Structure 1
Amino acid sequence: MLRLYGEELLKVIRDAKSLPPTEHPDCLVPPYRSKNKVLSKAVQQAIDEHAREIGIPASVLMRKKWLGQLYEVVALDKDVSELPQGLKGWRNDWVVKTLIPVIKKHKTELQQGMGIRVQ
């Protein structure tokens, strides 16, 4: 990889360093990690219950990637229109009415677990 793309990577880095800070992309939000698993347990319980109700595996109802994106939407107070595409279809009503309120109950823990400073 280094031999194939090393020069190109160095060029991208040099070009990025020459950009003014106003043109830098936003920093990525770190994923949720916490030793206190109250939020994770509450969310998993909501996912498992709904999956049982509609008769599909929990892994089909909610993917780990979507959950991380959902955490970001809630933690940063983004609009629900910014939900991942997979949560906008048939899952949307359940996500908005059930899952987001569960996550919001633990918003402080979520933000701490993502390293977001609350002002």
Structure 2
Amino acid sequence: MVVATDTKEKSKFVGFPAQALEAILREELMAVAEAEADMNGFALPKEPGVAAVAPVPMDSLVVVEILCSVEDVLGFQPKDATVRTGGYTSVQDALDHMMPRLENQWLKKQGESK
């Protein structure tokens, strides 16, 4: 008699998934920046690196809404307090502020400290 066993295990990241997390956040934040630019009557630069630092104000409440997009990568829902009150002046500003905070939250969930 052959017994089938389910050997599927949840995949775990060995370390903080910075690249995957940043890619998701950058994509979501760029969508917010593009929408803000459209509403305010200007176009973002075509080059992704230049567009990321373009001065486009992003409301903190809008940025909090995109935090749910990283839950699968992190394995938990980030705290709303990850986002700076008052928002951000560019996509890069948001990434520079949120990534270290997300890493700290991730490390705490893993039982580590930075």
Q: Shorter-normalised TM-score: what interval?
A: under 0.3
* TM-score, L = length of structure 2: 0.27
Q: Which has the higher helix share?
A: 1
* TM-score, L = length of structure 1: 0.27
RCO higher in structure (CA 8 A, sep ≥6): 1
Q: In terms of Rg, which structure is larger?
A: 1
